[in-house]
Structure 1
Amino acid sequence: MDYSSSSSSHRYSYDVFPSFCGQDIRKTFLSHFLQGLKRNEIKTFIDNGIKRSDSINSELVRAITESRIAVVILSKNFDSSGWCLNELQLIMECKVSLEQTVMTIFYDVDPSDVRKQTGDFGKAFEETCHGKTEEQKQRWRQALTQVAVIAGEHSVLWASEAEMILKIVADVSNELPSMDFDRLVGIEAHVAKMESMMCLGSDEVKIVGIWGPGGIGKTTIARALYRKVSCNFQLKYYKENVEGKYKKIQFDDNYLQKHIEIEVLSGLLDHRNMKIPDLQEAQLRIKQQRVLLILDDVRNGELKALRNLIQSLRFGSKVVVTSGDVFKLKPKGINQIYKVVFPSREEALKIFSYSAFGQKCPPRSYLEQAVEVAKLVAPFPLGLKLTKKYE
């Protein structure tokens, strides 16, 4: 059966559709993989509660065709199921008709056996094909041969399954369309410079500051950076507006250090709003993982309180700190400081135009007024955005 459909004006409901044999990996590899996708806000189809049979139902057909990426996890019993083979057949059809991205994971199975249907994998395939038409057998065989030549991760080549999952999640994230930078004027250049300063490919622990006056876009840059690179880290946490949270409350140093450290550890370990049962164990886990920590709008007390935690980081962990006061950053062991420069006149006009008119350039009838407003409110992007509220 041909499940394919036109790719024109195609809508997507999911980022990822995972195709797998449940008896092999559902309670082990798959659960950790899905957790990694969820942590990175990758919308994934979950098949819980779907009754399986020889033919795939309309819900699964829709889920596959409305997913940007299909991740096929080939394991030893994958071809023992006509259900899995029918899923695979549809996925390979969507690869052609919808230009769907297909990624492969060979989990305890030889890619050569999948491609040629040999070995134990081939024996299972022949058993599944028993009683099927030759036409159906050839469609399944073609799908297996096609998927096996797609380069993917092979579990036997990885010493650590956790590291393999981290790599796969990062690859999935990189395959997805970039976040909408169109209305964040100049953001790509800012993010690229920050990525360079952070040395993402190195195992060196780096602490990088983002400095500039209020309203210039430090938080926007930090958020965009987090969204783009967080998939490369095992643990990550974006701590928003640190200074705004504590500046009106007086804490003694010991209480502040413990309170902030617990909050950051909770965020990194995904225990938000939950008490950490063992602080020392949490600290040990942090030391064993690659961490991304972004502290937005800090003051001296917060950086001092987190000094011990930051100094304990390993394995290429990165810390990003934003502040409007360069003197809060310079003496705190920060490796480099990125100074956010004012937008050009052209960029200022674009920022105002997106905010006021929802488009890149102002309408002709408002062009002169828009240029004057951009001159008056520039160079602060936040001011350009807020101006619309008072029209």
Structure 2
Amino acid sequence: MDDDDNQLSILTSRKKYAVFISFRGEDTRSSFTSHLYKALISNGIETYIDDRLERGDQISKALLHAIDDSRFSLVIFSKNYASSSWCLDELVHIIKRMEKKKQIVLPVFYHVDPSDVRSQKGSYADAFVKRKKSYSDSIIQQWRRALTTASNLSGWHVSNTRFSFSNFTSTTVIHCNISINTPLLGANISRNDAELVDEIVNYIRGKLRYTSSSTSNLKQGLVGIDKSIQDLCRLLSNAPIVGICGMGGLGKTTLAEVVFEQFRHQFDGHCFLRNVKEVVKKHGSTYLAQEFFGRLLSNKGKYIDLEDLDIEKERLYHKKLLIVLDDIENISEHDSLLRDSRVWLNSESKVIITSRNLQVLRNIIGDDEKLIYNLKLLDEDEALELFYLHALKKNKIARESCTEISRELVNYAQGLPLALIVLGRHLYSKREEVWQSLLMKLKVEPDESFLQVLKMSFDGLDVKEKNIFLDIACFFRGEKKYYVKEILDDCGCFDIVIEVLVDKCLITICEGRLQMHDLLKEMGWSIARGLNNRLWIAKDICHVLRSNSDQDVKTLKYVILSHSKKLTCLPDLSQANLQLLRLHGCTSLLELPPIRFHNAHDIINAENESEVMYKYHNLMLQLINYMKLMMMNPLLNAQNLEN
């Protein structure tokens, strides 16, 4: 394995800590080491530091475990490092881990010359003189070898005039000269120390950047996400703010989370705010803003005066920030956090916003709709693979035997990741009969767990929008838009409602027809059943028509029974509140009851009521006679009977 492969293996391994710091407490605990530790933690880099003031003669097992459970060891060689047997034992264990390809070691030579450490000269020679009488030759040799090995590694050298990141076995040394006015003493961090801290943090962050184990863990069990990551990163590289849009259960949050984890180490500060809509609903926008700025300013849990943020925003302006606002429902949620972001977000900062509402993202991002990434459903192969991952894990034999029923279940989910994952997990380790049973059950009653996720978009609609969505779900899916408009546009707002439903990813328009995902349709059916004001299932319609109940009839507003070829009669509709009655194609209808239409008084008064109703019934009789004639003479067609 070459060095690059070895580093990649270490960086992608699952460890509790990213960094272990080995240091001599009396030299740097209150100065350089404390500032380095704080900077690593504030950048989201999990770091272990043994902050006990008193140490025993032997290194503890807990400390050894901490070293083993870290990807990097930062060894801070200071003047008195070698005077501590504890530090030297730590170093021996660290070098052993490195030689076993289990850890990356980074030395920092803090006001000591690397050659003194390598050859044990100066203060390091003095330390060994004192230790020689108390320790065996074998232990002394282990310490010397560890110091020599570590001093030949690439690391940082800081002195009173400069620091550098160097490969000490190479003749090439890159120096960063920084003039200072005061010596590096005491608890206050100097300009030289501050620069070195930034250098170390940025180096480690860069190493972790593309190989974060959290990213690897997040991507486990995900299918088809790599292209979406590439597409989103391409957008981010060209713009400070991008949006992710799509219906519920599609994976907007997951995509944002993977990108966030993959790149957050490149930034000076970061914040991922989940479920913004729900947080505002439960706790209010002030709580949300406190949480947001608390994370960005590394003051989480502390009170922040939101009315006086000028100084804090000035600090943020000088930082490169990564921000994710997840599930924004309206523009006010964005404005409570980022209304004046152009003042305090610099050009290197990036913002990702997820929403189910395309119009909200348009308002936030501006004219360039190309900066809104519309997440797509999985194709058939991706959907099948995702389902298999959760339903059958790695059982290849089971995959081959369950292909047919698996495809039926995948077809039911129609490429929606949430549905595929829920179904797969539910069926894992179950017998094939259970799979068949669930499939039959789903055709009658969909799973509530993913319907509730989809219903969040519906809950954000107003009354008119909800009604038109339910009408499309129950009656008009797949119908031409103009045809549906003729029926439902009773107040002139149909077009704007359709725009809202499209923007909220509840419907689509394909070749002029209104379409929606099967699971959204079933969600609409589930809601409509609870409201009990729509009839679209044959047995329910037959029940109402046969019962002829006044209560059922009074609520009828639209009656569309077109092409009901076995329909022979209708109930008494004189008590109904009809706006529309469609019976074309009802070739068995032989009689028509009294009928009352909504707003009939607009066209009928006491003087002409009998005349209007006479003409209506006469027209219905002609229609019935025509249908009878068609039944007796199948060769006749409408063209022959125009006159």
CA shift for structure 1 position 168: 4.1
Q: Which residue of 2 aligns with 1:240?
A: 274
CA distance in 2 between partners of 1:169 and 1:130 (Å): 37
Larger radius of gyration: 2
Q: Report the 3-state secondary structure (helix = DSSP H, G, I; strand = E; otherwise coil) of the residue aligned with 2:254.
A: helix
Check 1:75–1:172 CA distance in 2 against 1; reply closer, same or farther (3 A cut): farther
CA distance in 2 between partners of 1:216 and 1:265 (Å): 29
Check 1:63–1:50 CA distance in 2 against 1; reply closer, same or farther (3 A cut): farther
Q: Which residue of 2 aligns with 1:300?
A: 331
Q: Which residue of 2 aligns with 1:5?
A: none
- Contact kept? 2:206, 2:266, Cα under 8 Å: no
Q: Which residue of 1 aligns with 2:246?
A: 212
Check 1:331–1:92 CA distance in 2 against 1; reply closer, same or farther (3 A cut): same
1:193 matches 2:221: no
Aligned residues: 372
Q: Superposition pairs for residues 246-285 of structure 1, below 5 Å?
A: 246=280, 261-277=289-305, 278-285=308-315
1:167 matches 2:202: yes
Q: Superposition pairs for residues 79-228 of structure 1, below 5 Å?
A: 79-97=82-100, 99-118=102-121, 120-127=122-129, 129-131=131-133, 132-155=135-158, 156-157=163-164, 160-171=195-206, 173-174=208-209, 177=213, 179-180=216-217, 181-199=219-237, 206-228=240-262
Q: Which residue of 1 aligns with 2:318?
A: 288
Q: Superposition pairs for residues 332-347 of structure 1, below 5 Å?
A: 332-333=364-365, 336-347=371-382
Q: Report the 3-state secondary structure (helix = DSSP H, G, I; strand = E; otherwise coil) of the residue aligned with 2:216.
A: coil
AA of the residue aligned to 2:68 = T
Q: Which moved more, 1:260-269 or 1:41-50?
A: 41-50
CA shift for structure 1 position 385: 1.7
1:381 matches 2:384: no
Structure with more contact order per residue of length (Cα contacts < 8 Å, sep ≥ 6): 1
AA of the residue aligned to 2:341 = L
Q: Which residue of 2 aligns with 1:229?
A: 263
AA of the residue aligned to 1:341 = K
CA distance in 2 between partners of 1:47 and 1:308 (Å): 42
Q: TM-score under structure 2 normalisation?
A: 0.51
CA distance in 1 between partners of 2:15 and 2:289 (Å): 40
| Stretches of 4+ aligned residues off by more than 6 angstroms | none
Q: Which moved more, 1:301-310 or 1:138-147?
A: 301-310
1:349 matches 2:349: no
Which of 58, 74, 77 does residue 74 from structure 1 map onto? 77
- Percent identical across equivalent pairs? 31
- Contact kept? 1:114, 1:122, Cα under 8 Å: yes
- Contact kept? 1:114, 1:121, Cα under 8 Å: no
Which of 388, 396, 404 does residue 368 from structure 1 map onto? 404
CA distance in 2 between partners of 1:99 and 1:245 (Å): 42
Check 1:12–1:322 CA distance in 2 against 1; reply closer, same or farther (3 A cut): closer
CA shift for structure 1 position 238: 0.6
Q: Report the 3-state secondary structure (helix = DSSP H, G, I; strand = E; otherwise coil) of the residue aligned with 1:289.
A: coil
AA of the residue aligned to 2:359 = F
CA shift for structure 1 position 170: 0.7
Measured on the aligned residues, the alpha-carbon RMSD in Å equals 3.4
Q: Which runs of 5+ in 1 are unaligned?
A: 1-9
Q: Which moved more, 1:267-276 or 1:222-231?
A: 267-276
Deviation readout 1:82-126 (Å, 9 max, x if unpaired):
2211211111112223533323333343434433334x4544544
Q: Which moved more, 1:147-156 or 1:129-138?
A: 129-138
CA shift for structure 1 position 247: 6.2
Deviation readout 1:50-107 (Å, 9 max, x if unpaired):
8524432333333333444323222333223222112111111122235333233333
1:33 matches 2:64: no
Q: Which residue of 1 aligns with 2:520?
A: none
CA distance in 1 between partners of 2:207 and 2:130 (Å): 31
Q: Which residue of 2 aligns with 1:24?
A: 27
Q: Which residue of 2 aligns with 1:6?
A: none
- Contact kept? 1:82, 1:128, Cα under 8 Å: no
AA of the residue aligned to 1:103 = L
- Contact kept? 1:211, 1:324, Cα under 8 Å: yes
- Contact kept? 2:241, 2:351, Cα under 8 Å: yes
CA shift for structure 1 position 366: 2.9
Check 1:105–1:285 CA distance in 2 against 1; reply closer, same or farther (3 A cut): same
CA distance in 2 between partners of 1:112 and 1:344 (Å): 61
- Contact kept? 2:241, 2:350, Cα under 8 Å: yes
- Contact kept? 1:205, 1:314, Cα under 8 Å: no
Q: TM-score under structure 1 normalisation?
A: 0.81
